[in-house]
Amino acid sequence: MPSDASVRFVTTMFSKHYREAPLHMPDRFARREFGFMFFDRTFVMRHLSFPTRAALKNYLVEQVPSHAYYSCAYYEKPDAPTMAEKGWRGADLIFDLDADHVEGTKGLSYEKMLERVKEEVVRLIDEFLLGDLGFDEGSLKVAFSGGRGYHVHINDPRVMRLSSHERREIVDYVTGTDLDIDWVFPSTAFEARKYKDRVGMEYRRAMPRLEEGGWRRRMRRGIDDLLTELEALDQEEAVKRISEMLSASEKETGGKTVSGLYSDLFTGASGKRGVDRMRSDDTFEVFSQKRYGDAFLRLVEMRVKGRMKGETDEPVTSDIKRLIRLPSSLHGKTGFEVIPMRRDDLDGFDPFVSAVPRAFGAREVGVVCEKAVEVRLKDRTYSLDEGRNEVPEFVAVHLICRRLATMDVK
């Protein structure tokens, strides 16, 4: 926090929130470890437990942490000073998505960044957690982290005792790690050829079908999208796009490979176009030369898999003792509230409206901005000049926590 006046103001506002706001408690909270960070201390306070909701609320009001966490794990003795003494009894399955782990967020404004992260959270939940993995929606909870993303909690007896390694396997499935392309495109023998005293077998790869489940269906959808994207381009632009998608080593094989791949897919010089055969016959063998087919397979592995994979922070999901943000607590770097919600609430959720704490009022206070800044909070956009500005309390907290302003001491 930039100044003593800023610390005092934000601490006062945080304490007001903890006095007035209802506290959303995690399941079996008495078996959880709690941890806290503070505006005026450099260490993390952890190995704490609270027997009642009132005890935790009193702590938040009086100590006023900048960040509040609880463990995904359940312990026999959650306040024991060492992990070995706590007695681990299980843990929720947690998925953490924020801007650091989501492709396409670099260079975006804070608002646009959160929109992009939410898109991936929705896809993670709908396609993977409720879809492929078959979790029940009743066991799934979502939380806006108050900062740069969202957390997804799975509270299901089937996952509670999973080891760190088993949880990492779930992450690998979601992210497509070590996905076997030979499994996605299975090969079958279709013709034997004899040359002198040797017999060689020709193999044909099959396209995955949309009727199949899991990653085969996902890859097929991705291939169809890729082919549609390339088909809409003129030949010069499509060849350029394919070349950019392929690795440097494949581009070094020469432009003939890329142009031959394009020709087999889209020109239909020798009859039905390759793209049409792929869509109707579920066959991969549409290329006049093996190297064109190999290049397309590599294109699919690099481009399609990357587009279709889910996003999550692997260390968080595999950690069976992780501390995660406490619902209804405040994020010390934004002043936003950690908002718990169900899947149906997520689509219409706007953190710049719903995560602004109600305890932060509209009373005007003075802040000093180092440079001009614009923020949207609640029902309006605030365009502030460099220097002193009068803003509502909830805007002041947000600006100070994000280090975009300091409290005016005059």
Domain containing residue 170: CATH number:
3.90.920.10
Judge if 168 and 205 occupy the same domain. Answer: no
Asked whether residue 78 is assigned to any structural domain, the reply reads yes
Other Cβ atoms less than 10 A from the Cβ of 58: the count is 14
Asked whether residue 407 is assigned to any structural domain, the reply reads no
Asked whether residue 218 is assigned to any structural domain, the reply reads yes
Q: Which residue, 292, 308, 324, sits at the end of a domain?
A: 308
Statement: residue 254 has pLDDT above 90: no
Could you say which of 27, 40, 92, 96 is catalytic? 96
Phi and psi at 375, nearest 5°, equal -135, 145
Statement: residue 2 has pLDDT above 60: no
Position 383 confidence tier, pLDDT thresholds 50, 70, 90: very high
347 sits in the region (left: phi over 0; alpha: psi -120 to 50; else beta) called: alpha
Active site residue 178: no
Number of domains the chain is built from: 2
- Report pLDDT digits (tens) over 264-314: 899 865 567 888 888 887 777 788 888 888 888 888 888 899 899 998 999
Distance CA 29, CA 51 (A): 8
Judge if 251 and 303 occupy the same domain. Answer: yes
User: What integer best gives the mean pLDDT of the chain?
Assistant: 90
Judge if 276 and 199 occupy the same domain. Answer: yes
Could you say which of 92, 264, 313, 319 is catalytic? 313
Predicted confidence at residue 258, as pLDDT, reads 87
- Residue 165 sits at the vertex; the CA angle it makes with 164 and 167, to the nearest 5 degrees, is 65
CA distances from 356 to 69, 144, 210, 329 (A): 19, 12, 43, 12
- Report pLDDT digits (tens) over 338-379: 999 999 999 999 999 999 999 999 999 999 999 999 999 998
Asked whether residue 362 is assigned to any structural domain, the reply reads no
Judge if 225 and 264 occupy the same domain. Answer: yes
Asked whether residue 11 is assigned to any structural domain, the reply reads no
Other Cβ atoms less than 10 A from the Cβ of 245: the count is 20
Give the three-state DSSP class for 251. helix
Position 196 confidence tier, pLDDT thresholds 50, 70, 90: low
Asked whether residue 238 is assigned to any structural domain, the reply reads yes
Judge if 207 and 298 occupy the same domain. Answer: yes
Q: Which residue, 280, 308, 336, sits at the end of a domain?
A: 308
Could you say which of 27, 79, 92, 98 is catalytic? 98
Asked whether residue 88 is assigned to any structural domain, the reply reads yes
Judge if 215 and 246 occupy the same domain. Answer: yes
Which tokens belong to 334? 């934004």
Q: What is the mean pLDDT of residues 67-78?
A: 97
Judge if 156 and 59 occupy the same domain. Answer: yes
Q: How far is CA 339 from the centre of its chain?
A: 16
Judge if 167 and 40 occupy the same domain. Answer: yes
Helices (H), 64-163: 83-86, 110-123, 157-160
Asked whether residue 325 is assigned to any structural domain, the reply reads yes
Judge if 168 and 38 occupy the same domain. Answer: yes
Other Cβ atoms less than 10 A from the Cβ of 344: the count is 9
**What does the buried/exposed string (b/e) look like for 203-236 if buried means 16 or more CB atoms within 10 Å of the residue's CB?**
eebbbbeeeeeebbbbbbebbbebbeebeeeeee
45 within 8 A of 38, measured Cβ to Cβ: yes
CA dihedral 124, 126, 128, 131 (to 10 degrees): 180
Q: Across the strands, what pairs with 369? A: 387, 405
Judge if 292 and 187 occupy the same domain. Answer: yes
Judge if 201 and 333 occupy the same domain. Answer: no
Predicted confidence at residue 201, as pLDDT, reads 61
Judge if 138 and 192 occupy the same domain. Answer: no
Predicted confidence at residue 243, as pLDDT, reads 87
- Report pLDDT digits (tens) over 11-66: 999 999 999 999 999 999 999 999 999 998 888 999 999 999 999 999 999 999 99
Phi and psi at 329, nearest 5°, equal -80, 175
2 within 8 A of 403, measured Cβ to Cβ: yes
Active site residue 40: no
Q: Which domain does 206 fall in, by range?
A: 181-308
370 within 8 A of 376, measured Cβ to Cβ: no
Active site residue 156: no
